[in-house]
Amino acid sequence: DAKTTQPPSMDCAEGRAANLPCNHSTISGNEYVYWYRQIHSQGPQYIIHGLKNNETNEMASLIITEDRKSSTLILPHATLRDTAVYYCIVPPPNNAGNMLTFGGGTRLMVKP
């Protein structure tokens, strides 16, 4: 697996954009970057994924650097309900089993 590094915690003011960084400097050319989040005492929730180009959906935007060694998940207008642990994952392309390795993630606290 390509190793990912995320800050352990971040704060964000409600209504402001939350920018969550992830380093994945050992990523290979055909490995995607996935983002999940886990609200306290709930199951993880898929957010978004990408390979090279920036991606956007109804939940968030994903910005991947040109060299693909890092990415940023953007929640454009954070709400209190976005308080959660956010996981950046780079699964190996052809590993059927242990394909999602959830590490420590970033604990995002959205404050009023």
**b/e map of 72-100 (b: 16 or more CB within 10 Å)?**
bbbbeebeeebbbbbbbbbbeeeeeeeee
> Which of 10-18, 57-65, 69-77, 93-101 is the region at the interface with other proteins (rule: CB under 8 A)?
93-101
Nearer to other proteins, 16 or 45 (CB): 45
User: Is the Cβ of residue 76 or residue 104 nearer to other proteins in the bound state?
Assistant: 104
Residue 2 belongs to what H/E stretch? Answer: none
Size of the chain, expressed as the number of residues it contains: 112
Comparison of 20 and 105: residue with beta carbon closer to other proteins: 105
Longest Cα separation, the chain: 43
13-72: contacts with other proteins (CB under 8 A): 32, 34, 41-46, 49
Taking the complex as a whole, the smallest distance from the CB of residue 17 to other proteins amounts, in Å, to: 24
Residues 6+ apart with CB under 8 A from 58: none
Footprint of other proteins on this chain (CB under 8 A)? 32, 34, 41-46, 49, 87, 91, 93-94, 96-105
